[in-house]
Chain A
Amino acid sequence: MSASLVLTPQQIKRKKAAGEPIEPNEGELIRQHTIMVLVENSIGSLIRVVNMFAARGFNVDSITVGPTADETISRMHVVTTGNERIIAQILRQLSRLVDTIEVSDLTETNYVERELCLIKVRYDARSRAEIMDVNTVFRGKVVDITPRTFTFELTGPTPKIDAFIDMMRNHNILEVARSGRVAMQRHQIPS
């Protein structure tokens, strides 16, 4: 168990009784985790995973799902928030489902995470250049253009998408569609 694991009240009491120090961050360390789940490719399996979060009162910040190279297996990414104890519980509850084939918390590993965003923005003669500048800085793609609107496609880590949308708030955002996060562990070269 990692040192940052959040302690149960009973453990804290036990540590105190033994005169051991309790690290300040042992009380609470709540953060976002990206959990990858490989499940049987069926609507029932997907619902079972989502239902587990709802039935047991866990948070869900984002969910993505799609087939893998093996079409009988779907890959899900669930972004959830909680302390280490809750996350450990989520991982165990997910593994316990009959339909889950593999469950891992990517947050504990070296991984890449991406999100895709489509955003439709209204422009006029005055704002057009500025909007295009922002897009160039973020390396977005223009996927549709009309005399009044741009539609941009942007991929990247979630903070980048957030920042791009924040920049566009100065203009007239008509529509935003975000995919939710997908993630993958970087390949480990055996040492």
Chain B
Amino acid sequence: MRYDSHTKIHPVVPSGDAIPEPGPEVFTAQQHLSGAEILLRSLQAEGVKIIFGHPGGAVIKIYDEMARTTPDFQHILVRHEQGGTHAAEGYAKATGKVGTVLVTSGPGATNTVTGIADAYMDSVPIVVFTGQVPTGLIGNDAFQECDAVGITRSITKHSYLVRDVKDLARTVKEAYHIARTGRPGPVLVDLPKDVLLAKAPFHYPTSVDIRGYTVPGTGRPDKIQRAARMIMASERPLLYVGGGAISCDATALLRSIAQRTRIPVTTTLHGLGAFPEEDPLSLRMLGMHGTWWANQAVQHSDLIVAVGARFDDRVTGKLDSWAPHANIVHIEIDQSCISKNVFADCAILGDAHLVLKQLDPLLKRKDTDAWLAQIEEWRQECPLEYEQDEKLRAQGVIEMLRDKTRGNAVVLTDVGQHQMWTAQYFRFLHPRTHITSGGLGTMGFGMPASMGAAFGLREMGSDMPVVCISGDGGFVMNAQEMSVAAAHKLPIKLAVINNRFLGMVRQWQELFHAERYSHTDLSDTNPDFVKLAEAHHCVGLCAKTNQQAIDIIDEAWTVHDRPVLMEFQVAKEEMVFPMVPAGAATGDMITQRIVPNSFV
């Protein structure tokens, strides 16, 4: 039995609210379907093309239905549910669509928790379907039972426990709507087994009506006027751009406004790619490991225009000395982010793209030459640099990868030193080409997320290479997904920056804990990465010198039918600079020139 053989399912535009009117013949076939079948049909109606999942007892009916019928989406069997959630995140970030995860009850659900929390912190739209024991057994400590909705309550944008099969289709519709709109985020749908077995007529709703949920659109006109006046009156303006600009698709407009008004742009970690980093107006990243000149600009600016950014502590450092001279205009889609950490003198609640569209005609070219010249001086004063010698260094590897791809790659990272070096040295040019775990800081994010991104690019017909830059600490945390990527012939380039240490913790230990390297040395417990890759049906390569590094990168780019793991054995003593120590004032950056004597 094929889905389209007896009931015509009207295609739903996956990205917007503009849903075509259903034709008169649609949904006339009112035969009763099982919950499992309703779920699969709802996913198709929602335009889902790929699901990352792992079967189990509570969801066996859904998997049976997948085998019995032939849904027109792909199911990717991941090897750990955490990998599945990160893959869904990578897919969502690379494509702008909602990622989908399907897991069983109990441990299946708890294994998704880290991925859900990660998606919550980084505003990634994913929907996680968890199996649940039959409604009659809920609360009985049944086999593989856990309170998935309860456990994830504070890390989901919203969650549902479906108690009646009649509510299932509507719930799926709402879940995708909530995940995708406003500030995106994870939604969990818990599916008791009896609901999946029960039958009901199938009708996929064409619209969503949630009375407590409104999606901010355009900004209030008076606030727009006020913001425009503040921008035009400022002398040292600065655009501070976060991931919200990318998720609202505001980057093209942002670029044209910045270039026309001559206002310099600094981005957060998640904002990387929102503004081309090779543009002279780009100050690159700000914050703890941002550039000296971006942070100096913040400290001297008289007007900061925040676009889709949330004044995270890694950006501001010590709050009371951050941007002491600046008025703040905050363009933000999530009301709870407004004036949370830093008071917004002019807060505009709305969609960044729509708000910038309103602002655009009110802004004229500004004379910022003196301000830009001052920033240029800071740029010369303390450029991003590292020691250039025969030693293989992480920063050098990242520059080699940049040169190989000329910035035309989707780059994913794990968490730690390599993540910051990637942010500093890769120079991102396009939105959705930098994907990382920023808010939660999840080691083990990179590998499975790069798999999700690679599936996403394949779906979009893009041949952009997917490069995952990891450390030796994080990579092993989800290395099992390599064999999944290999099975699907994804040509991911996996760069493992191996310094045989938990590098970022080591850096803090060296700088702030008197070089007591407590449990950060991994040399005894690291696997042989080349063999690890080969065991997972991938190509494994290793480089210890600069020349070898160039060679293995060239070799890796000749492999098109499976992932290639490139291990780069780099110096362990390297540290990420410049740096604002946690809790310190942004003005008190440690730059490379005044590194402590202990630096080797």
Which residues of A line the B interface, CB within 8 A? Answer: 7-14, 17, 39-40, 44, 47-48, 51-52, 55, 85, 88-89, 92-93, 95-101
Map CB proximity to A onto B316-344 as digits: 1 under 8 Å, 0 otherwise. 00011111110000000011101111110
Instruction: Decide if A98 touches B158 in the complex (CB within 8 Å).
Output: yes
By Cβ-Cβ distance, the 5 closest A-B pairs, closest first, are: A9-B320, A55-B154, A92-B336, A98-B158, A101-B212
Contact of A40 among B212, B334, B336 (CB under 8 A): B212
* Chain A, residue nearest B158 (CB): A98
Partner of B149, one of A7, A44, A52, A89: A44
Q: Is the interface of B mostly helix, strand, loop or mixed?
A: loop
Asked if B210 CB lies within 8 Å of chain A CBs, one says yes
Interface residues of B in 40-83 (CB under 8 A from A): none
The answer, among A8, A52, A98, A101, for a CB contact under 8 Å with B157, is A98
A131 to chain B, nearest CB (A): 45
Interface CB pairs A-B, < 8 A, 19: A7-B343, A8-B320, A8-B341, A8-B342, A9-B319, A10-B319, A10-B320, A10-B323, A10-B324, A10-B343, A13-B320, A17-B324, A48-B153, A55-B153, A89-B340, A95-B336, A98-B157, A99-B212, A101-B212
Complex Cα gap A108–B157 (Å) = 29
Please tell me if the beta carbons of B336 and A51 are within 8 angstroms of each other in the complex. Answer: no
Tell me what chain A mostly uses at the interface: helix, strand, loop, or mixed: helix
B211 CB–A CB distance under 8 Å? yes
Report the bound CA distance from A88 to B322 in whole Å.
Answer: 22
Which residues of chain B are within 8 angstroms of A10 by Cβ–Cβ distance?
Answer: 319-324, 342-343
Report chain B residues within 8 Å CB of A11: 343
| A residues near B321, Cβ cutoff 8 Å | 10, 13
Residue of A nearest to B338 (CB): A92
Q: How many residues of B contact A (CB 8 A)?
A: 29
B contact set with A: CB distance below 8 Å: 149-150, 153-154, 157-159, 161, 178, 210-213, 319-325, 334-336, 338-343
- Asked whether A88 lies within 8 Å of B339 as measured between CB atoms, the reply is yes
Is A96 touching B319 in the complex (CB atoms < 8 A)? no
A30 to B322, CA, bound (A): 25
* A89 to B310 CA separation, bound complex (whole angstroms): 14
On whether the beta carbons of A8 and B212 are closer than 8 Å, the reply is: no
Q: Which residue of B lies closest to A12 (CB)?
A: B320
Query: Min CB distance, A173 to chain B, in Å?
Result: 37
CB-based nearest B residue for A99: B212
How far does the alpha carbon of A9 sit from the alpha carbon of B342 in the complex, in Å?
9
Residues of A within 8 A of B210 (CB): 98
Query: B583 to nearest A CB, angstroms?
Result: 13
List the A residue with the shortest CB-CB distance to B213: A98
Q: Give B341 Cβ to nearest chain A Cβ, in Å.
A: 8
Which residues of chain A have C-beta atoms less than 8 A from B338's C-beta?
92
B503 CB, nearest partner CB in chain A, Å? 32
* In the complex, chain A residues whose CB is within 8 Å of the CB of B213: 98
A8-B343, A92-B338 given; A97·B212 CB < 8 A: yes
Complex contact A14–B212 (CB within 8 A)? no
- Which residues on A sit within 8 Å (CB–CB) of B320? 8-10, 12-13
How many angstroms from the CA of A51 to the CA of B152 in the assembled complex?
A: 11
Q: Which residues from chain B contact A55 at a C-beta distance below 8 Å?
A: 153-154
Cα distance, A10 to B149, chains bound together (Å): 38
CB distance from A76 to the nearest CB of B (A): 13
Are A101 and B323 touching (Cβ within 8 A)? no
* A71 smallest CB distance to B (angstroms): 15
Told that A12-B320, A95-B335 touch, could you supply 5 new A-B pairs with CB distance under 8 A?
A7-B343, A9-B320, A10-B324, A47-B153, A48-B153
In the bound assembly, the distance between CA atoms of A51 and B151 in angstroms comes to 11
Complex contacts, A14 vs chain B, CB 8 Å: 324-325
Cα of A96 to Cα of B153 in the assembled complex, Å: 14
